[in-house]
C-alpha cells in the first residue's frame, strides 16, 4: 500500500500562522514572534493547547510553533513524529539541535517546530 503524506505543502494561506500555547506564553515567546515579524509582517497568532499544535502544523493549518516554557518528553514525542512524517521539523531553541528522548531528565529544552 502506498503511503499518502499529509497535505503539509498543499494547505497554503496568505498570512504566516504561528501557534503558541494557550496557557504557557513567556516574554521570550513574544520576543521571538516580534523577530519573526521582520520577515513575516502578516503573522496570525493561533492559541491552542497541548500537542495539538503539532497536528495543526502537520495539516498545514499553521506554519510555526514556538515553545519557551517547560514541556516533557511525553508532551512532544507523538506530535513531533506526526509532524516529521508530514515533512516538518522540530529543533531546540535557540541552538537548533534535535530534541533528544530517553534522557535521564525527561524535560525538553525550549523548541520550535515548523513547516519546511
- Quick: pLDDT tens for 30-80: 999 999 999 999 999 998 877 899 999 998 899 999 999 999 999 999 999
pLDDT at 8 exceeding the cut of 60: no
Q: How far apart are CA 87 and CA 7, in angstroms?
A: 10
pLDDT at 10 exceeding the cut of 80: no
Q: Which residue, among 109, 114, 23, has the nearest Cα to 68 in the 3D structure?
A: 109
Q: How far apart are CA 85 and CA 17, in angstroms?
A: 20
pLDDT, the chain, mean = 90
- Quick: pLDDT tens for 89-99: 999 999 999 99
pLDDT given at position 22:
84
Residue 69 burial (CB count, 10 A): 12
Residue 59 burial (CB count, 10 A): 15
| Orientation of helix 73-85 relative to helix 52-59, angle to 10° | 10
pLDDT given at position 11:
65
Half-sphere exposure of 46 (CA within 13 A, CB side): 19
pTM to 2 decimals?
0.82
Q: How far apart are CA 25 and CA 29, in angstroms?
A: 6
Amino acid at each position: 500500500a502506498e503511503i499518502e503524506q499529509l497535505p503539509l505543502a498543499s494547505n497554503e494561506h496568505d498570512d504566516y500562522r504561528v501557534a503558541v500555547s494557550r496557557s504557557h506564553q513567556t516574554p521570550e515567546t513574544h520576543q521571538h514572534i516580534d523577530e519573526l515579524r521582520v520577515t513575516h509582517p502578516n503573522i496570525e497568532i493561533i492559541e491552542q493547547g497541548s500537542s495539538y499544535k503539532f497536528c495543526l502544523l502537520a495539516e498545514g493549518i499553521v506554519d510555526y510553533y514556538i515553545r519557551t516554557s517547560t514541556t516533557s518528553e511525553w508532551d512532544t514525542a507523538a506530535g513531533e513524529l506526526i509532524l516529521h512524517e508530514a515533512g516538518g521539523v522540530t529543533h531546540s531553541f535557540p541552538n537548533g539541535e534535535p530534541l533528544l528522548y530517553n534522557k535521564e531528565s525527561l524535560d525538553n529544552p525550549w523548541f520550535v517546530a515548523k513547516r519546511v
